[in-house]
Amino acid sequence: MQELKTKSKKVVSRETGVPSAKARLEALSAKGREGEEGGPEPDKLLTFPHLVLKEFIALMLMSLLLIIVSIVLNAPLEEEANPSKTPNPSKAPWYFCGLQEMLVYFDPWIAGVVAPTLIIIGLCVIPYVDRNPRGIGGWSGIKHRPFAVTIFSIGVFAWFALIIFGYMFRGPAWLVYMPWESWDVHKPILSPGGLVVPLYVGVTAIAVYFGLGMGLPVIFVRRFYQTLGPARYFVTMFFVLCMFGFLAKIPLRLLFSIKYIIKTTWFSI
């Protein structure tokens, strides 16, 4: 044991403290990229064995976890598919349960098509609209980029909250059932509420929402607008407002039982 300890110490001291390694490292590193990163070169260590060992430990940990879980828990397999026997409720896989939960609040074309599309596009544009150069490489993000972190956190939180609610708190007829509650308990189907906002009010409300959402920061948080520039600003605000718009429909539906904000013969929101 004593031997092992000294040996390991020797390895560490030999490889971290040798100045010639540092010089070689500088020679090996891509000098051209120094300007891009703009910072000083950090300390470096050999991939083998430092990184490889850690990766190998992680790999073994994951394997261990998987093997234990696979021995203990069996993958579900129900009755053979029977198109004439619809289970109540039929739930999507857990990662889509958030979208299924959105079906309570929106028509399927929004919850199932528009929302996921916007989420994917929104995720893709993040690096192109985020001009903030700070907060790279560390977990202290909220200090340096409060806006980006807040918005992203709200989005991720809402996504998982919807998934958890849809997956665990919904029972037959998509009614609310606590996870410990039996689905056999008969629940009255609450009136879903069919309040439809008059068309002109709805269109006005949405126009005002987007107008104010776009406009107010331009006036009051001038520096934010100036940093981003008009194109980036509008793209950012479009996605941010869409996200809050989606989430805002939930209390509208639950508290005021508003079914549609805009209802036309072709589509309804």
Residues 97-126 binding other proteins (CB under 8 A) are: 99-100, 107-109, 111-114, 120, 123-124, 126
Indicate the residue among 91 and 187 with the shorter CB distance to other proteins.
91
All residues at 6 or more sequence positions from 93 whose CB lies less than 8 Å from its CB, including other chains: none
- The one segment of 91-99, 202-210, 234-242, 246-254 that binds other proteins by CB under 8 A: 91-99
Rg (alpha carbons) of the chain, rounded to whole number:
27
Q: Which is nearer to other proteins, 64 or 212 (CB)?
A: 64
Nearer to other proteins, 40 or 255 (CB): 40
Q: Which of 93, 188, 192, 194 binds other proteins (CB under 8 A)?
A: 93
Which SS3 state, helix, strand or coil, does residue 73 take? coil
Residue 119 CA to residue 114 CA, distance in Å, equals 9
Residues 133-192 that bind other proteins (CB under 8 A): 133-139, 141, 145, 149, 152, 156, 171-172, 177, 179, 181-184
Q: Which residues contact 143 (CB under 8 A, 6 or more apart)?
A: 135
Instruction: Print the binding letters for residues 235-254 with other proteins: x by CB under 8 A, - otherwise.
Output: --------------------
Binding residue (CB under 8 A) for other proteins from 23, 31, 128, 212: 128
- By the rule CB under 8 A, 23 interacts with other proteins: no
Interatomic CA distance for residues 98 and 92, integer angstroms: 9
Choose one: 8-16, 193-201, 211-219, 238-246; the region binding other proteins (CB under 8 A): 8-16
Shortest spacing between CB 145 and other proteins, in angstroms: 7
Among residues 86, 94, 111, the alpha carbon closest in space to that of 166 is found at 94
| Residues binding other proteins: number (CB under 8 A) | 106
Considering only CA atoms, which of 239, 262, 265 is closest in space to residue 252?
262
Q: Which residues pair with 170 in a beta bridge?
A: 176
Q: Print burial letters for 122-152: b (CB count within 10 Å at least 16), e (below 16).
A: beeeeeebbeeeebeeeeebeeebeebeebb
Of the candidates 16, 63, 5, the residue with the CA atom closest to the CA atom of residue 44: 16
* 111 vs 237, beta carbon nearer other proteins: 111
**Tokens representing residue 99 in the block:** 């979208």
Q: How far is the CB of 75 from other proteins (least distance, A)?
A: 4
Cβ distance to other proteins smaller for residue 91 or 222 = 91
Residues 28-87 that bind other proteins (CB under 8 A): 28-30, 33, 36-39, 42-64, 66-71, 73-83, 85-87
